Amino acid sequence: MRQQKYGFSGGAGLILGAALLWGTVGPAQALADTSLGPAALGAWRLLVGGAVLGALARRHLRALLPAMRQGLARPLLICAVATAVFQAAFLYSAARTGAALATVVALGAAPAATGLIARSVNGERLTRTWLVSTAAAVTGCALLLAPTGAGVDVLGLLAATVSGVCYGLYAVHAKQLTTDHPHVHLPAVSALSLLLGAVPLVPWMATDTAALAQPATLYLIAWLGLVTTALAYWLFSAGIPATSAAAVGTLSLAEPLAASFLGVFVLHEHLTTTAALGSLLIFGGLAAACLPTSRARPATTRTEPSADELAAGGSFIR
Protein backbone atom coordinates (compact mmCIF):
# COMPACT_ATOMS: atom_id res chain seq x y z
CA MET A 1 0.00 0.00 0.00
CA ARG A 2 1.28 3.51 -0.68
CA GLN A 3 2.46 5.69 2.15
CA GLN A 4 1.06 9.11 2.94
CA LYS A 5 3.35 11.80 4.37
CA TYR A 6 1.56 13.93 6.90
CA GLY A 7 2.40 17.61 6.92
CA PHE A 8 1.01 21.11 7.09
CA SER A 9 0.01 21.05 3.42
CA GLY A 10 -1.79 17.75 3.99
CA GLY A 11 -4.60 19.17 6.08
CA ALA A 12 -3.09 20.49 9.31
CA GLY A 13 -3.77 24.06 8.22
CA LEU A 14 -7.47 23.29 7.83
CA ILE A 15 -7.59 21.63 11.26
CA LEU A 16 -5.88 24.71 12.69
CA GLY A 17 -8.45 26.94 11.03
CA ALA A 18 -11.28 24.98 12.59
CA ALA A 19 -9.64 25.07 16.03
CA LEU A 20 -9.10 28.83 15.78
CA LEU A 21 -12.77 29.33 14.98
CA TRP A 22 -13.74 27.13 17.94
CA GLY A 23 -11.52 29.34 20.08
CA THR A 24 -13.88 32.28 19.48
CA VAL A 25 -16.80 30.58 21.25
CA GLY A 26 -15.92 31.72 24.79
CA PRO A 27 -15.05 35.33 23.87
CA ALA A 28 -18.22 35.56 21.75
CA GLN A 29 -20.30 34.44 24.73
CA ALA A 30 -18.61 37.04 26.93
CA LEU A 31 -19.19 39.82 24.39
CA ALA A 32 -22.85 38.88 23.83
CA ASP A 33 -23.58 38.72 27.58
CA THR A 34 -26.85 36.90 26.90
CA SER A 35 -29.12 35.36 29.52
CA LEU A 36 -29.60 32.21 27.43
CA GLY A 37 -28.54 29.14 29.41
CA PRO A 38 -25.46 27.21 28.28
CA ALA A 39 -27.37 23.98 27.51
CA ALA A 40 -29.94 25.81 25.38
CA LEU A 41 -27.17 27.73 23.63
CA GLY A 42 -25.37 24.47 22.90
CA ALA A 43 -28.54 22.98 21.44
CA TRP A 44 -29.10 25.98 19.16
CA ARG A 45 -25.47 25.88 18.09
CA LEU A 46 -25.65 22.21 17.09
CA LEU A 47 -29.06 22.57 15.47
CA VAL A 48 -28.19 25.63 13.35
CA GLY A 49 -24.75 24.36 12.45
CA GLY A 50 -25.99 20.87 11.62
CA ALA A 51 -28.85 22.20 9.50
CA VAL A 52 -26.59 24.53 7.50
CA LEU A 53 -23.94 21.87 7.02
CA GLY A 54 -26.64 19.40 5.97
CA ALA A 55 -28.01 21.88 3.44
CA LEU A 56 -24.54 22.35 1.95
CA ALA A 57 -24.04 18.58 1.73
CA ARG A 58 -27.63 17.70 0.83
CA ARG A 59 -26.69 15.99 -2.45
CA HIS A 60 -24.57 13.51 -0.51
CA LEU A 61 -27.07 12.68 2.24
CA ARG A 62 -28.80 10.02 0.14
CA ALA A 63 -25.55 8.08 -0.17
CA LEU A 64 -25.46 7.63 3.59
CA LEU A 65 -28.42 5.22 3.63
CA PRO A 66 -26.72 2.31 1.83
CA ALA A 67 -23.52 3.07 3.76
CA MET A 68 -25.46 2.57 7.00
CA ARG A 69 -25.85 -1.09 6.06
CA GLN A 70 -22.10 -1.34 5.43
CA GLY A 71 -20.92 -0.41 8.92
CA LEU A 72 -21.34 3.38 8.90
CA ALA A 73 -24.01 3.37 11.61
CA ARG A 74 -21.65 2.47 14.49
CA PRO A 75 -19.02 5.22 14.02
CA LEU A 76 -21.77 7.72 13.19
CA LEU A 77 -23.57 6.88 16.43
CA ILE A 78 -20.31 7.19 18.40
CA CYS A 79 -19.67 10.61 16.81
CA ALA A 80 -23.22 11.74 17.66
CA VAL A 81 -23.03 10.55 21.28
CA ALA A 82 -19.56 12.10 21.68
CA THR A 83 -20.90 15.39 20.31
CA ALA A 84 -23.86 15.43 22.73
CA VAL A 85 -21.78 14.44 25.78
CA PHE A 86 -19.09 16.96 24.84
CA GLN A 87 -21.62 19.79 24.77
CA ALA A 88 -23.27 18.76 28.04
CA ALA A 89 -20.00 18.10 29.89
CA PHE A 90 -18.25 21.20 28.58
CA LEU A 91 -21.17 23.52 29.31
CA TYR A 92 -21.55 21.99 32.78
CA SER A 93 -17.85 22.54 33.40
CA ALA A 94 -18.00 26.11 32.08
CA ALA A 95 -20.93 26.87 34.41
CA ARG A 96 -18.98 25.59 37.45
CA THR A 97 -15.42 26.68 36.67
CA GLY A 98 -15.71 29.36 33.99
CA ALA A 99 -15.37 29.11 30.22
CA ALA A 100 -11.62 29.80 30.16
CA LEU A 101 -10.71 27.10 32.67
CA ALA A 102 -13.10 24.59 31.09
CA THR A 103 -11.58 25.22 27.64
CA VAL A 104 -8.00 24.84 28.85
CA VAL A 105 -8.68 21.59 30.74
CA ALA A 106 -10.84 20.04 28.00
CA LEU A 107 -8.43 20.84 25.19
CA GLY A 108 -5.46 19.98 27.38
CA ALA A 109 -6.86 16.47 27.80
CA ALA A 110 -7.78 16.11 24.13
CA PRO A 111 -4.33 15.37 22.58
CA ALA A 112 -3.44 12.53 24.94
CA ALA A 113 -6.97 11.12 24.75
CA THR A 114 -7.01 11.30 20.94
CA GLY A 115 -3.61 9.68 20.59
CA LEU A 116 -4.40 6.84 22.97
CA ILE A 117 -7.83 6.20 21.45
CA ALA A 118 -6.32 6.23 17.96
CA ARG A 119 -3.71 3.73 19.14
CA SER A 120 -6.42 1.50 20.62
CA VAL A 121 -8.98 1.73 17.79
CA ASN A 122 -6.81 2.01 14.68
CA GLY A 123 -3.40 0.83 15.85
CA GLU A 124 -2.05 4.25 14.88
CA ARG A 125 1.62 4.76 15.71
CA LEU A 126 2.42 7.50 18.21
CA THR A 127 5.49 9.16 16.75
CA ARG A 128 8.22 11.09 18.54
CA THR A 129 6.93 14.25 16.89
CA TRP A 130 3.51 13.62 18.43
CA LEU A 131 5.04 12.97 21.85
CA VAL A 132 7.15 16.15 21.76
CA SER A 133 4.44 18.41 20.32
CA THR A 134 1.79 17.08 22.69
CA ALA A 135 4.05 17.38 25.74
CA ALA A 136 4.90 20.98 24.84
CA ALA A 137 1.30 21.94 24.14
CA VAL A 138 -0.14 20.25 27.24
CA THR A 139 2.54 21.89 29.39
CA GLY A 140 1.55 25.19 27.83
CA CYS A 141 -2.08 24.55 28.78
CA ALA A 142 -0.98 23.81 32.36
CA LEU A 143 0.84 27.16 32.47
CA LEU A 144 -2.23 28.92 31.11
CA LEU A 145 -4.18 27.25 33.91
CA ALA A 146 -1.69 28.19 36.65
CA PRO A 147 -2.74 31.85 37.05
CA THR A 148 -6.31 30.83 37.93
CA GLY A 149 -5.23 29.86 41.44
CA ALA A 150 -6.55 27.24 43.83
CA GLY A 151 -10.07 26.39 44.90
CA VAL A 152 -11.33 25.13 41.56
CA ASP A 153 -14.36 22.87 41.36
CA VAL A 154 -13.40 19.18 41.15
CA LEU A 155 -16.62 18.11 39.42
CA GLY A 156 -16.23 20.92 36.93
CA LEU A 157 -12.68 19.84 36.11
CA LEU A 158 -13.80 16.22 35.79
CA ALA A 159 -16.55 17.25 33.37
CA ALA A 160 -14.01 19.22 31.31
CA THR A 161 -11.78 16.15 31.16
CA VAL A 162 -14.73 14.05 29.98
CA SER A 163 -15.39 16.57 27.22
CA GLY A 164 -11.74 16.31 26.15
CA VAL A 165 -12.09 12.52 25.89
CA CYS A 166 -15.28 13.00 23.85
CA TYR A 167 -13.34 15.23 21.46
CA GLY A 168 -10.84 12.40 21.05
CA LEU A 169 -13.62 9.88 20.38
CA TYR A 170 -15.10 12.14 17.72
CA ALA A 171 -11.75 12.82 16.02
CA VAL A 172 -10.72 9.16 15.89
CA HIS A 173 -14.04 7.82 14.62
CA ALA A 174 -14.44 10.66 12.11
CA LYS A 175 -10.97 9.70 10.88
CA GLN A 176 -12.05 6.06 10.73
CA LEU A 177 -15.02 7.05 8.57
CA THR A 178 -12.68 8.52 5.95
CA THR A 179 -10.75 5.25 5.67
CA ASP A 180 -13.49 2.62 6.05
CA HIS A 181 -15.96 4.51 3.82
CA PRO A 182 -13.81 6.50 1.35
CA HIS A 183 -16.79 7.32 -0.91
CA VAL A 184 -18.91 8.83 1.87
CA HIS A 185 -19.03 12.62 2.04
CA LEU A 186 -17.73 13.47 5.51
CA PRO A 187 -19.55 16.84 5.91
CA ALA A 188 -22.84 14.99 5.41
CA VAL A 189 -21.85 12.56 8.17
CA SER A 190 -20.84 15.48 10.40
CA ALA A 191 -24.17 17.19 9.75
CA LEU A 192 -26.04 14.09 10.91
CA SER A 193 -23.86 13.72 14.00
CA LEU A 194 -24.44 17.37 14.92
CA LEU A 195 -28.21 17.11 14.51
CA LEU A 196 -28.35 13.85 16.47
CA GLY A 197 -26.12 15.40 19.12
CA ALA A 198 -28.60 18.26 19.56
CA VAL A 199 -31.45 15.90 20.42
CA PRO A 200 -30.55 15.32 24.12
CA LEU A 201 -30.32 19.10 24.62
CA VAL A 202 -33.73 19.90 23.09
CA PRO A 203 -35.54 20.07 26.49
CA TRP A 204 -33.32 22.99 27.54
CA MET A 205 -33.79 24.68 24.18
CA ALA A 206 -37.57 24.32 24.42
CA THR A 207 -37.86 25.72 27.96
CA ASP A 208 -35.23 28.50 27.83
CA THR A 209 -36.77 30.85 25.26
CA ALA A 210 -37.01 34.26 26.94
CA ALA A 211 -33.52 35.31 25.85
CA LEU A 212 -34.39 34.74 22.18
CA ALA A 213 -36.05 38.16 22.20
CA GLN A 214 -32.62 39.76 22.74
CA PRO A 215 -30.80 40.74 19.51
CA ALA A 216 -27.46 39.87 21.13
CA THR A 217 -28.69 36.29 21.65
CA LEU A 218 -29.65 35.93 18.00
CA TYR A 219 -26.30 37.32 16.86
CA LEU A 220 -24.51 34.90 19.16
CA ILE A 221 -26.52 31.91 17.89
CA ALA A 222 -25.78 32.98 14.31
CA TRP A 223 -22.03 33.25 14.96
CA LEU A 224 -21.82 29.98 16.88
CA GLY A 225 -24.03 28.07 14.46
CA LEU A 226 -22.81 29.40 11.12
CA VAL A 227 -19.13 30.10 11.79
CA THR A 228 -17.92 28.07 14.77
CA THR A 229 -19.98 25.00 13.85
CA ALA A 230 -20.94 24.79 10.15
CA LEU A 231 -17.78 26.42 8.74
CA ALA A 232 -15.44 25.00 11.39
CA TYR A 233 -16.74 21.45 10.94
CA TRP A 234 -16.44 21.80 7.17
CA LEU A 235 -12.79 22.80 7.54
CA PHE A 236 -12.24 19.97 10.01
CA SER A 237 -13.75 17.47 7.58
CA ALA A 238 -11.57 18.74 4.75
CA GLY A 239 -8.39 18.42 6.78
CA ILE A 240 -8.86 15.23 8.76
CA PRO A 241 -8.34 12.68 5.92
CA ALA A 242 -4.75 13.86 5.39
CA THR A 243 -3.88 14.37 9.08
CA SER A 244 -3.21 11.65 11.63
CA ALA A 245 -5.74 11.40 14.46
CA ALA A 246 -2.99 11.96 17.03
CA ALA A 247 -1.90 15.18 15.28
CA VAL A 248 -5.54 16.32 15.15
CA GLY A 249 -5.67 16.10 18.94
CA THR A 250 -2.55 18.24 19.31
CA LEU A 251 -3.69 20.78 16.72
CA SER A 252 -6.95 21.21 18.67
CA LEU A 253 -4.90 23.07 21.28
CA ALA A 254 -5.01 26.09 18.97
CA GLU A 255 -8.46 26.62 20.47
CA PRO A 256 -7.38 27.71 23.99
CA LEU A 257 -4.49 29.61 22.41
CA ALA A 258 -6.92 31.60 20.25
CA ALA A 259 -9.25 32.10 23.21
CA SER A 260 -6.43 33.50 25.36
CA PHE A 261 -5.27 35.89 22.62
CA LEU A 262 -8.82 37.14 22.06
CA GLY A 263 -9.19 37.58 25.80
CA VAL A 264 -6.14 39.87 25.85
CA PHE A 265 -6.67 41.88 22.67
CA VAL A 266 -10.49 41.96 22.47
CA LEU A 267 -11.71 41.57 26.04
CA HIS A 268 -8.67 43.42 27.46
CA GLU A 269 -7.82 40.70 29.93
CA HIS A 270 -4.35 40.64 31.50
CA LEU A 271 -1.97 37.90 30.32
CA THR A 272 0.60 37.09 32.99
CA THR A 273 4.19 36.11 32.23
CA THR A 274 3.38 32.48 33.07
CA ALA A 275 0.37 32.50 30.75
CA ALA A 276 2.45 34.09 27.99
CA LEU A 277 5.04 31.33 28.34
CA GLY A 278 2.24 28.76 28.19
CA SER A 279 0.94 30.31 24.99
CA LEU A 280 4.42 30.13 23.43
CA LEU A 281 4.72 26.45 24.37
CA ILE A 282 1.32 25.72 22.81
CA PHE A 283 2.40 27.56 19.67
CA GLY A 284 5.62 25.53 19.56
CA GLY A 285 3.69 22.30 20.01
CA LEU A 286 1.32 23.23 17.19
CA ALA A 287 4.24 24.08 14.90
CA ALA A 288 5.84 20.70 15.65
CA ALA A 289 2.56 18.90 14.98
CA CYS A 290 2.44 20.49 11.52
CA LEU A 291 5.81 19.04 10.52
CA PRO A 292 5.92 15.86 8.39
CA THR A 293 5.98 12.88 10.73
CA SER A 294 6.56 9.93 8.44
CA ARG A 295 8.43 8.97 5.33
CA ALA A 296 7.90 6.31 2.76
CA ARG A 297 9.19 2.94 3.91
CA PRO A 298 9.64 -0.36 2.12
CA ALA A 299 6.58 -2.56 2.27
CA THR A 300 6.64 -5.09 5.08
CA THR A 301 4.43 -8.03 5.84
CA ARG A 302 1.80 -7.19 8.44
CA THR A 303 -1.86 -7.83 9.09
CA GLU A 304 -2.82 -4.41 10.43
CA PRO A 305 -2.52 -1.15 8.42
CA SER A 306 -0.29 1.61 9.75
CA ALA A 307 -1.52 5.10 10.57
CA ASP A 308 0.01 6.36 7.34
CA GLU A 309 -1.92 3.80 5.29
CA LEU A 310 -5.13 4.62 7.16
CA ALA A 311 -4.78 8.22 5.98
CA ALA A 312 -4.21 7.29 2.36
CA GLY A 313 -7.86 7.27 1.42
CA GLY A 314 -8.77 10.42 -0.67
CA SER A 315 -9.59 14.00 0.18
CA PHE A 316 -12.88 15.22 1.56
CA ILE A 317 -14.50 18.54 1.79
CA ARG A 318 -16.75 18.25 8.88
Q: What is the pLDDT along the chain (318 residues), one digit of tens a residue?
A: 333 444 444 578 888 899 889 888 878 887 888 888 878 888 899 999 999 999 988 888 777 777 777 777 888 888 888 888 887 787 778 777 766 667 777 777 777 788 888 888 877 777 777 777 777 767 776 776 665 554 557 788 788 889 888 988 988 888 787 777 777 788 888 898 899 888 888 898 999 999 999 999 999 999 999 999 999 999 988 888 777 766 776 677 677 677 767 776 777 666 567 766 766 776 666 666 655 544 434 333 333 333 333 333 322 222
CA pair distance 69, 318, nearest whole angstrom: 22
The DSSP output letter for 229 is: I
The candidate with the shortest Cα–Cα distance to 243, out of 13, 3, 22, 1, is 13
- Per-residue model confidence (pLDDT) at position 66: 72
CA pair distance 315, 165, nearest whole angstrom: 26
CA pair distance 93, 164, nearest whole angstrom: 11
CA pair distance 106, 141, nearest whole angstrom: 10
Residue 299 lies in a domain: no
Handedness of CA 267, 104, 240, 82 (dihedral sign): negative
Measured CA distances, 245 to 88, 95, 176, 196, 302 (Å)? 23, 29, 9, 23, 21
Residue 35 lies in a domain: yes
Asked if 166 contacts 85 with a C-beta cutoff of 8 angstroms, the reply is yes
Residue 4 lies in a domain: no
- Per-residue model confidence (pLDDT) at position 245: 67
Residue 120 lies in a domain: yes
Residue 260 lies in a domain: yes
- Per-residue model confidence (pLDDT) at position 127: 74
Residue 1 lies in a domain: no
Residue 259 lies in a domain: yes
Residue 2 lies in a domain: no
This model's pTM is above 0.85 = no
Domain of 65 in residue numbering reads as 15-294+305-310
Per the structure, the count of domains in the chain is 1
Rounded to a whole number, what is the largest CA-CA distance in the chain?
A: 64
